[in-house]
Structure 1
Amino acid sequence: MPVKYVIVIPDGCADEPIEALAGKTPLQAAKLPAMDALAAQGMLALANNTPAHLPAGSEVANLCLLGYDPDIYFTGRAPLEAAAQGITLGPHDWAVRCNLVTVENQVMTDFTADHISTEESTELLDALNGLLKQDCPIESKLEFVPGVSYRNLLIYRGDENTPAPFSNETRSSAPHDLTDLPITDDFPRGLGSNVLVDLMNRSVELFAGHRVNQKRIADGKRPATNVWLWGLGGAPALPTFEQNHGVKGVMITAVDLLRGIAALVGWPRIEVEGATGYLDTDYAAKGRAAISALENYDVVCVHIEAPDEASHEGRHEAKIEALEQIDTHIVGPLVEALAKHGDYRILVTPDHPTFCSTKKHTHGMVPLVIAGTGVEADSQTTYDELACDSAGKKFEKGWDLMNAFIVKT
C-alpha cells in the first residue's frame, strides 16, 4: 500500500514572543494537543523558505515549501495568481497583482479595502478598464481582471513588436506589508513603473466619486480609494510535483495564490464551501474535505490563511484561536484518518513568519514537525518555535524539505 502524505500549512503562524502573552509566541500560548502529540512522536526542525534577497511573502515561501528553488522558478506573485484563474501567460505577457486598498492621508489604512466584496471590486475595475486608452500601444494591451474580493489582477498581453514595458528589475511593495505605514516611498520603481503609478493615480479620482464607494461610506464601511499594483512577473515554468517526487497531490485552499501554485505544479484543487481565506473560514469543512481526499490522492495539502490574516491585523488572540481551530478540526481528525490508511507521513509548517507586532511577513526560519512512518522521534514534546530550534535540525534551503518528507521508492 502506498504511503499517504498530508501537508498542513497554517499560513504565517510563526511569530516572536509577545509581551501580552507573558513572553510566549502564539504557538506557545495556544492549546494544541494534536500538534504537540505529533511533536512527541516525530521530528522537529526549522526551515528557511524566504531567502533574504527575495520577498518574504507567501509566493516565495510556498514555492520553497513544496520543493521549488525560487531562484530558478519564481517570476513574481501575480503570475501564480493568474494560473489560479486559468489565465495562460504567453512569452510576452505579464501579470500584475492588483489590490483594492484604503489609503488615508498617504497611509495604508487597509490593504483589503475593508474586505470589499467581489461584486463591488468587479464594478470598480470595470470602470477603470473604461479609462484605458485604446489608442495607446501599451494601455491597449492592458486589462484589469477581477478576482476575489480585494485580490485582483492586471494583465498585459504583449507580442514581439510590443513587449511588456516591465522587467525583472521593476520593483513594487506588497500592500499587506505597509499596514498603518506611510506609502510615499513605496510606489513602484524602475522600468515601466510610470505605467503602474499612472494607473494607480488615475484610479484615485475615478473611485472617489463612484457609487460603490458612496454606498460603502453610507453603510459605515471603508471605501476603496485606489488600486495598488505590485507583484508583477512573466510566465513561470515549473516541473510538476509528480515529476519531482513520483506522487500525485491535491490542494485545499481559499487563496488564489495557492490555487495558482497548485495549478502550476499539476495539482487539482478542492473547493470547500465555507472556506473564506479569513478568520471566519469553516475549519471543520476543510478537515472533512482533506480526509475525503485521502481516498484518491497520495498527497493532500491543506492551506489555512487565518493565522496570517490575524497577524496582519495585529490580533494575537485571534491568531491563537485560529491555531486552536486548526488543531481541533484539521490536524487532529487528519491524524486519526491517516492511521486507517496504513503507512503515512504528516507535515505541519507555516510558509513564513508573520509578526503580530509589525503586521507583516518577515524573513526567517519557520518551525515544522514531521511525524509518521519511518520518522525517528527526537526529545521534544511541543510544537512551537523554541522547541523546533532546540531540536537542532535546520533546512537552510527550504526547498530541500520535500526530499526529506517524501519517501523515495
Structure 2
Amino acid sequence: MKYVIIIPDGCADEPLEALQGQTPLQAAKLPNMDAIAAAGAVGRANNTPAHLPAGSEVANLCLLGYDPDVYFTGRAPLEAAAQGIELGPDDWAVRCNLVTIEDQIMVDFTAGHISTPEATELLALAQKELLKDYKGPGKFEFVPGVSYRNLLIYRGEAGTPPPFSKETRTSAPHDLTDLPVTDDFPRGPGSAFLQRLMDDSGELFRGSNVNQKRIQEGNSPATNLWLWGLGKAPQLPSFQSRHGVSGVMITAVDLLRGIAALVGWPRIEVEGATGYLDTDYVAKGKAAVEALRDYDVVCVHIEAPDEASHEGRHDAKIEALQQIDQHIVGPLREALSAAGEHRILVTPDHPTPCGTKKHSHGMVPFAISGTGITPDSASTYDEVSAGNSEWSLAAGWDLMGQFIVSKSR
C-alpha cells in the first residue's frame, strides 16, 4: 500500500464577503481535490486543542498522529531538530524572528522577507553586542536559519536553572500582524531576560549597515528580535514504530523538517521550494511522484496558503490552492492510480482565516480516497462539505491511525 499526505498549510478559512460568502477553498477551482472527495470521503478534525497554541507546531504533530499533550514541548526544539542541532537534557531552543515593529505595531513578522545573508549578519551583531555582558548560567548562541526564521540556543548547566522556564509565556509574531505588541512581549516567570534582549535589539539594529541599506532600497528594516516558542527537546517515538510504514517529508519549512527528523523520516530538499507564494509547485510535485518508488508514505507540505492568509490576500490564497491542485495533487493522483493499492489524504494543519491574518483553533476539512475507503455523498473538498459529514474527530491525532491502518471508518 502506498500513502500520500498533502498538507496545504492553513488553507481552512471562513466565508469572505469579497468572495460572495464563499471560502477560498470553495472559490478555487480544485478538480483534483474535488475528485478525491467524490471518490472517497470527507470529514473534519481538530488539530489545535483549545488549551494549546493554534499554530503549526501543535497542529502538524496532531496531523501526523502525535497527541500534543504527551509530546509537545515547544516550537523551537522542533526547528532545532531540522538543523541537526542536538539538545541535551539541560538545553533549550528559542525561536528568533527578525521583525518590523513601528510605533509598537507588528508591521511585518518577516521583516520584508529579509534575506538569509542579511539575517545572518544581524544575528552575528546580536551575538557580539547583546550577549557580551551575560553572566548567568549556561551559554547562548544565535543560530541563523532561513530568512527571518532563526533560533537562539541555550546550553544549560546540570542542576542550575536557566534564565527562563516552561512557565514563560510568549506570543507568535505571525498572529500579531497589524496589531499592537506591547502586551505580547514575553510574560510570566523567567520572561525578563527575553524581554531585555528584544528591547535592546531595537537600539542595536537601528544603526546597522543591513538596515540602512534596506531602507535605502525601499525594503522593510528588521527593527527587532522577536523571541518565542521556547522549549526543551521532545521525545517522539518513530512513525514506523507506531504504524509499521516508512515515510519521507517534502517541505521548505524548518518546523516540518524538524518534525520529520524527530519521527524518523528523511527529507527531500527540492530546488525552488521557498516556503512562500513563489515556491516551485511543479518541482515539488515531481519530487513527490519520484519518492513514491522508495517510500510507503510521501508527505508534501506547502506553506503558500498560510503565507497568503497572513498577508490577508484571498486572491493569492486561491491561486496557491489552484497551483497545489494542478501541480501536486494531480500528478500524485495519476501516479497512485498506477501503483496498485493506495490511499491519499488532503488536509491542512490548522485554519488561517484571511480576515484575521492569523492561525486559529477549530476543525479543518480533510478528504481521503483509495483502497478500503467507503465513498460518502460528498462531491467537493471544502469546509461546508466537510461540515456536513458525520466523520468528525475531536482529537486530530486519531486521524492518522484511521488513514494508515487498512480499514475504513
The alignment's TM-score, normalised by the length of structure 1, stands at 0.98
Deviations 1:359-400 (A, max 9, x none): 000000000001000100000100000001112210110000
CA distance in 1, matches of 2:384, 2:48: 19
Partner AA of 1:394 in structure 2: S
Tell me, in whole angstroms, the C-alpha distance in 1 between the residues paired with 2:220 and 2:133: 35
Secondary structure at the aligned position of 1:59 is classed as helix
Deviations 1:4-63 (A, max 9, x none): 000000000000000010000000000000010111110100000000000000000000
Q: Tell me the residue number matched to 1:43.
A: 41
Residue 162 of structure 1 deviates from its aligned partner by 2.9
Indicate whether 1:112 and 2:119 are aligned.
Answer: no
1:160 to partner: Cα distance: 1.2
- Counterpart in the other structure of 2:233: 235
Give, in whole Å, the separation in 1 of the partners of 2:307 and 2:376.
32
Counterpart CA distance in 1 for 2:157 and 2:237 is 25
- Counterpart-to-counterpart distance in 1, 2:134 and 2:82: 29
Task: Give the aligned partner of residue 250 of structure 1.
Answer: 248
Distance 1:147 1:138 in 2: 25
**Cα distance in 1 for residues equivalent to 2:195 and 2:9:** 30
SS at match of 2:97: strand
Name the counterpart of 1:126: 124
SS at match of 1:360: coil
* Aligned partner of 1:349 among 343, 347, 350: 347
- Are 1:225 and 2:203 matched, yes or no? no
Return 5+ residue gaps in structure 2 as ranges.
none
Determine the structure 1 residue equivalent to 2:330. Answer: 332
Q: Can you list the C-alpha shifts for 1:109-165, whole angstroms capped at 9, x where unaligned?
A: 000000000000000000000024456343761111100000000010002143322
Match of 2:280 in 1: 282
Partner amino acid for 1:393?
W
Is residue 92–residue 154 contact of structure 2 (8 Å, CA) maintained in 1? yes
Look up the equivalent residue of 1:185 and give its one-letter code: D
Show the counterpart of 2:370. 372
Gaps of 5+ in 1: none
Report the AA paired with residue 319 of structure 2: E
Q: Look up the match of 2:150.
A: 152
CA contact (8 A) 1:171 1:189 kept: yes
CA contact (8 A) 1:46 1:394 kept: yes
The change in CA–CA distance for 1:133 and 1:275 in structure 2 (over 3 A counts) is closer
Q: Which amino acid aligns with 1:395?
A: L
SS at match of 1:100: strand
Equivalent in the alignment of 1:267: 265
Conserved? CA contact 1:132–1:142, under 8 Å: no
Partner of 1:381: 379
Alignment of 1:57 with 2:55, yes or no, is yes
Q: Distance in 1 between matches of 2:104 and 2:92?
A: 28
Shift in CA distance, 215/134, structure 1 to aligned 2, threshold 3 Å: closer
Partner residue of 1:305 out of 285, 294, 303: 303
Question: 1:231, 1:58 → 2: CA distance?
Answer: 11
Distance in 1, matches of 2:195 and 2:151, equals 15
2:169 paired residue number: 171
TM-score by length of 2: 0.98
Q: 2:101 aligns with which of 103, 114, 127?
A: 103
Paired with 1:158 and 1:244, the residues of 2 have a C-alpha distance of: 32
Return closer, same or farther for 1:136/1:217 CA change in 2, 3 Å cut-off.
closer
Partner of 1:138: 136
CA contact (8 A) 1:134 1:140 kept: no
Q: Distance in 1 between matches of 2:240 and 2:260?
A: 12
Letter in 2 for 1:6: V
The answer to whether 1:86 aligns with 2:84 is: yes
Q: 1:244 & 1:335 partners in 2: Cα distance?
A: 26
Quote the Cα distance in structure 2 between the aligned partners of 1:334 and 1:136: 52
Q: CA RMSD in A?
A: 1.1
Quick one: distance in 2 between partners of 1:193 and 1:141? Answer: 17
CA shift at 1:407, angstroms? Answer: 2.3
Contact residue 100 and residue 111 of structure 1 kept, 8 A: yes
Q: Is the 8 A contact 1:8 1:303 kept in 2?
A: yes
The amino acid across from 2:57 in the alignment is E
Report the equivalent of 1:75.
Answer: 73
- Per the alignment, residue 23 of structure 2 pairs with 25
Counterpart amino acid of residue 196 in structure 1: L
Contact 2:372–2:406 under 8 Å retained in 1: no
Instruction: State the Cα distance separating 1:317 from its structure 2 match.
Output: 0.5
Runs of 4+ in 1 over 3 A off after TM superposition: 132-137
Following superposition, the deviation at residue 166 of structure 1 comes to 2.1
| Separation in structure 2 between the aligned mates of residue 138 and residue 387 of structure 1, nearest angstrom | 55
Distance 1:277 1:372 in 2: 29
Q: Does structure 2 retain, via aligned residues, the 8 Å contact 1:101–1:113? A: yes
Are 1:95 and 1:153, in contact at CA under 8 Å, matched by a contact in 2? yes
Partners of 2:78 and 2:406 lie apart in 1 by 28
Following the alignment from structure 2 to structure 1, what is the Cα–Cα distance between the partners of residues 128 and 160? 21
Q: Which moved more, 1:9-18 or 1:140-149?
A: 140-149
